[in-house]
Structure 1
């Protein structure tokens, strides 16, 4: 799409100019057998650590999206803590994911920008931290984070929520289930040729599937 091309030229750094460091943080969360079942391209993508403050950009397009009425309501409510969920279900629109090494936490800041056919793009930011009860958590904002467990399924890397936490000062408390949007699953699957699919799904125990969004990406080039 023309809009996707414009975005990639504006935001894409040259990967060849980025300092890469061998990264074992994700691999350490999986058994050797599970890691060995992943395609080589996923190994490389999740073993590539940038120097602190550097960014790598992936450019793609949303090809599947759905959101229920309950999902739309939940997405509006959580805007009070930074708007971590998609609020629309448009397809054929560009999406950019920028991953930046965070020197302060030793984690990664993920910024996702999704285009819209009218109005400004939606921007969602979070921070993946290698901490918490499972060794990996996603910090959303306002002291709220999601503990994540990772596994391998059908040669894809899968991230599943393992509880939502509220941190005040140095203390953390688990949030009751009724205060959470439900079970979150993020799947990263390789498509070959440098492309990969990123799928987000949230299912509530009572309200069913709230939303699903899938996009296909490639690493941006200058």
Structure 2
């Protein structure tokens, strides 16, 4: 039995909440045909609109995180903008993700909490905004205007987010970073594993340095009113 299969067999605590509203934003990014090919639970996760004061939560664990020396150095340097990348190698650590609606921008705020073997957990904040040349941007860290323009594609069992380019937003101005200054090609895969579980895999690959880091986490849906059984 694989590490993912063993982890799926352990159910996570479930908390009731009010039923979410319909959300068509990810459907519009993918297109109707690609959206309809996704598993029901993936469409449900990305197709529920959260009202004021509501959140969607997913609990699980980091299964594995590996990074090269260059990847580790980059992760430490990114502490300056709020530590948006994994800070340590290994796995078997608790993880929690919470998604809330950002009323000001019309996007979403994602908060990720990763336990560590020593010290306080790592907390990563980011904001997804449905804007920009690709239709989706993610702002990272401490609100300093550093962001990633993301493309969204449907995979066999889920959705892939991939970096198109990195940028800095300074007031009304948006400065696209040259490829030579970019940290690498980032992909984030959300793949359904059945039984209310899904994997979340972050990978960063540099065209000269190769794969710099890869983190795979397994999460479980937390049951809310109106969720799939």
Aligned to 2:49: 49
CA–CA distance in structure 1, aligned partners of residues 44 and 132 of structure 2: 25
Secondary structure in 1 matching 2:25: coil
RMSD: 1.6
Q: Which runs of 5+ in 2 are unaligned?
A: 1-11, 225-229
Across the two proteins, how many residue pairs are aligned to each other?
Answer: 211
Q: Which runs of 4+ in 1 moved over 4 A?
A: none
CA–CA distance in structure 2, aligned partners of residues 209 and 196 of structure 1: 23
Q: 1:142 aligns with which of 132, 137, 144?
A: 144
CA–CA distance in structure 2, aligned partners of residues 88 and 45 of structure 1: 28
Aligned to 1:96: 96
Task: Give the alignment of 1:45-124 within 5 angstroms.
Answer: 45-124=45-124
CA–CA distance in structure 2, aligned partners of residues 221 and 34 of structure 1: 26
Q: Tell me, yes or no, if structure 1 residue 27 matches structure 2 residue 27.
A: yes
Secondary structure in 2 matching 1:63: strand
Q: Tell me if structure 2 keeps the 8 A contact 1:18–1:50.
A: no
Q: Which runs of 5+ in 1 are unaligned?
A: 1-7
Deviation string, structure 1 residues 86-138 (Cα, Å, up to 9, x no partner): 11112010000011111111111111111112211111110011011111010
Q: Kindly state the Cα deviation for residue 30 of structure 1 after the two structures are TM-superposed.
A: 1.1
Secondary structure in 2 matching 1:26: helix
Length-normalised TM-score, structure 2: 0.87
Deviation string, structure 1 residues 174-198 (Cα, Å, up to 9, x no partner): 0112322110000001011111111
